Amino acid sequence: MSYCVNCGVELEKACKACPLCDTPVINPREKSMDNEIPAYPTNLSIPKSTNKPYLCFVLSLIILIPSLVLIILNTVFFGNPVLKYIIGGFVVAWVWFLFPLLWKKPIPAVTVFFDAFTLMAYFWFYRFCGDDTGWVYGIAFPTVICLWAIANLFLFWKRKPRSKSAISVAVLGAINVMTFVIEMTMSVFFLKKLQIVISLVMTACCVSLMIFFIVLEKSKRMKAWVQRKFFI
């Protein structure tokens, strides 16, 4: 056991200098310590970041293989009319979740545009296949367009850094607007008249939560209490 002559800190066996004050450690009685393993690593190795295009390739294969098997089985043995929609769903999932991996730095607005575009193309594919009873233009298209518009508004607003409470309020507002859009299009499509019930219930829930987040943003005491209570 040795101690630093300068600051008195206890030293590890292989130490050549004090870790605290950098005073050289010279102990003539101790044998050469060149071969000893130091108590801590001398250089820090940082793991390489994930190879995103490679990850995209592997996950694409995972999606592609079952799709191909399904297509072959379907054309050879069964004539399952639903299958083309499942495969269409795979294409949408690929554009939504795997396509951004191919980009070095995905631009959110462009990603959102592609997401909305593929979703609309998918619904249009339904129409093209002749399974449409009017809901593609009546419900699906207006919903996707509204969702896309809200996503763009959100991205534009989020260019400046926003607090967690502000983001929560914005997300709640967006959810509420979307329930209105969905209920309005569905009631007009199915009932042939405008009927709003569920959205109003949603508004009551969303507004009370929004008030909670606004109060949280304003009151420092409450913020501290929530952070203590929920470990955030």
**Does the protein bind Zn ion through residue 208 (CB under 5 A)?**
no
Between 4 and 112, name the residue whose CB sits nearer to Zn ion.
Answer: 4
**Does the protein bind Zn ion through residue 4 (CB under 5 A)?**
yes
Please select the residue that binds Zn ion; options are 3, 13, 20, 69, rule is CB under 5 A. Answer: 20
Residue listed under structure tokens 């420092």: 220
Between 4 and 147, name the residue whose CB sits nearer to Zn ion.
Answer: 4
**Does the protein bind Zn ion through residue 26 (CB under 5 A)?**
no
Count of residues engaged in binding Zn ion, rule: CB under 5 A:
8
Supply the minimum distance, in Å, between the C-beta of residue 115 and Zn ion. Answer: 59
Please select the residue that binds Zn ion; options are 3, 12, 13, 21, rule is CB under 5 A. Answer: 21
Stretch that binds Zn ion, among 4-12, 27-35, 44-52, 93-101 (CB under 5 A): 4-12
- Read off φ and ψ for residue 116, nearest 5 degrees: -65, -40
- The alpha carbon of residue 143 and the mean position of all alpha carbons in its chain are separated, in whole angstroms, by 22
Supply the minimum distance, in Å, between the C-beta of residue 25 and Zn ion. Answer: 9
For the record, the structure tokens of 195 come out as 């009927």
**Does the protein bind Zn ion through residue 6 (CB under 5 A)?**
yes
From the list 120, 114, 89, the residue with the least C-alpha distance to 101 is: 114
**Does the protein bind Zn ion through residue 25 (CB under 5 A)?**
no
Supply the minimum distance, in Å, between the C-beta of residue 31 and Zn ion. Answer: 22
Please tell me the distance from the alpha carbon of residue 18 to that of residue 20, in angstroms, as a whole number.
5
Supply the minimum distance, in Å, between the C-beta of residue 6 and Zn ion. Answer: 4
Contact status, residue 148 vs residue 112, Cβ threshold 8 Å? yes
Between 15 and 206, name the residue whose CB sits nearer to Zn ion.
Answer: 15
From the list 126, 108, 72, 64, the residue with the least C-alpha distance to 90 is: 64
Please tell me the distance from the alpha carbon of residue 176 to that of residue 139, in angstroms, as a whole number.
17
Contact status, residue 188 vs residue 194, Cβ threshold 8 Å? yes
Supply the minimum distance, in Å, between the C-beta of residue 3 and Zn ion. Answer: 8
For the record, the structure tokens of 156 come out as 């534009």
